[in-house]
Structure 1
């Protein structure tokens, strides 16, 4: 009985493995970082079809074959539609979002992607950027990755090249850091006014360093 069960499982597993490899090749994927949410759904359904068929003797090999072929055709047609239609591609794959543009950060993009300042700082450090004022533009790609376009400097800045004091984070003033640099809130609001910012809620992040002075990352609501 066990031998018969093994003989029925092995062909299904081998065939399922081959079909998934073929689909990955047809989708043009080279590594896992290129997989989209749609791709994950494809393979979850593949896994479900195989799982339901492995230990059920009533499900014949040709049933599995038919199910995987039909699902493969659905994927192929879906991908074909997406490749031909920009509207469909935007709806199902997403589009590139501009998170930071010339010193301003998109409130809409922040809210949609549920991002906070700590995450943005971490992403910048992963790209070897340790000062947000170095960032000219930051993009969120359709696959969820981040692309940073820095300003061009003659001498690249490195971590700990100078001390940066965060002064505003999440609409909260860091009074402790203001004391460290011997400044007060009146001075801070004057700095904001110089950049035509008059409300604290319009500032996503602000910091100060002796090396380059004040940096303000303003929110825009488009």
Structure 2
């Protein structure tokens, strides 16, 4: 029985090209670890793997077709990343936004239900951050990649009794401006509006929020910001 070596060579070449192409695409998109992938990135990677898998074992699809598919997909993904970076508000729709699970030391059970979290999962996520007691946590954000970020209480050993009696001891910083764009979702969470942001900026001598690269607000520390680079004569 004669073995068709050309088929094996074709599969081997396609696999090699696909692997190299996927590595290049991953580096171009800046994703260095699986933990950095959002839900959107994960779905995108599944679609790409399906595309590559269907081309490898199909004799009617040549290497040039695979290269074309990889190039087009990479350009589309890069274009989308750049577009989302230009308009930060779109990023929150495409990749989602972190959700506050613990706010000022108080668990938001509705937020837990929104994210399909139970107390066993919350405890596991906290232990991954070397936190073994809820009294240590001032704020906890459930990130879009499924991890949790924690801001600790100042003196957790002094905290006891009702969690609601210890609110306000630690303030969670929040981005109110990103790349010149006011973050409406953050303002809504803070109970503020655009006029409040404009007043803050005017107090710092800034007349237009478009000049601000980022601005961070903390109830305990106030405004912290950086202006965009300007061309110097």
Q: Normalised by the shorter chain, which TM-score bucket?
A: 0.5 to 0.7
Of 118, 121, 142, 1:119 maps to 121
Q: 3-state SS of the aligned residue for 2:162?
A: strand
Residue equivalent to 2:26:
24
Of 101, 123, 135, 1:133 maps to 135
**Normalising by the residue count of structure 2, what TM-score does the alignment of the two structures yield?**
0.63
Q: Pairwise mapping of residues 157-172 of structure 1 onto structure 2 (< 5 A)?
A: none
* Shift of residue 212, structure 1, vs aligned partner: 6.1
The answer (yes or no) to whether the contact 1:105–1:217 under 8 Å persists in 2 is no
The answer (yes or no) to whether the contact 1:20–1:43 under 8 Å persists in 2 is no
Residue equivalent to 2:161:
214
Residue equivalent to 1:67:
69
* Shift of residue 93, structure 1, vs aligned partner: 0.9
Q: 3-state SS of the aligned residue for 1:20?
A: helix
Of 138, 148, 155, 1:146 maps to 148
1:50-98 alpha-carbon deviations (Å, 9 max, x no partner): 2222222211111112122111221111111111111210011111222
Label 1:80 to 1:4 Cα distance change in 2 as closer, same or farther (>3 A): same
Label 1:122 to 1:58 Cα distance change in 2 as closer, same or farther (>3 A): closer
The answer (yes or no) to whether the contact 1:137–1:148 under 8 Å persists in 2 is yes
Query: Which 4+ runs in 1 deviate beyond 4 A?
Result: none
1:163-211 alpha-carbon deviations (Å, 9 max, x no partner): xxxxxxxxxxxxxxxxxxxxxxxxxxxxxxxxxxxxxxxxxxxxxxxx9
Distance across 2 between alignment mates of 1:98 and 1:33: 19
Structure 1 unaligned segments of length 5 or more: list them: 158-210
**Normalising by the residue count of structure 1, what TM-score does the alignment of the two structures yield?**
0.65
Residue equivalent to 1:176:
none
* Shift of residue 217, structure 1, vs aligned partner: 6.1
Q: 3-state SS of the aligned residue for 1:41?
A: helix
The answer (yes or no) to whether the contact 1:98–1:138 under 8 Å persists in 2 is yes
Report the RMSD for the aligned CA atoms in angstroms.
Answer: 2.3
Computing the radius of gyration from Cα coordinates, the structure with the larger value is 1
Q: 3-state SS of the aligned residue for 1:214?
A: coil
The answer (yes or no) to whether the contact 2:125–2:147 under 8 Å persists in 1 is no
The answer (yes or no) to whether the contact 1:100–1:136 under 8 Å persists in 2 is yes
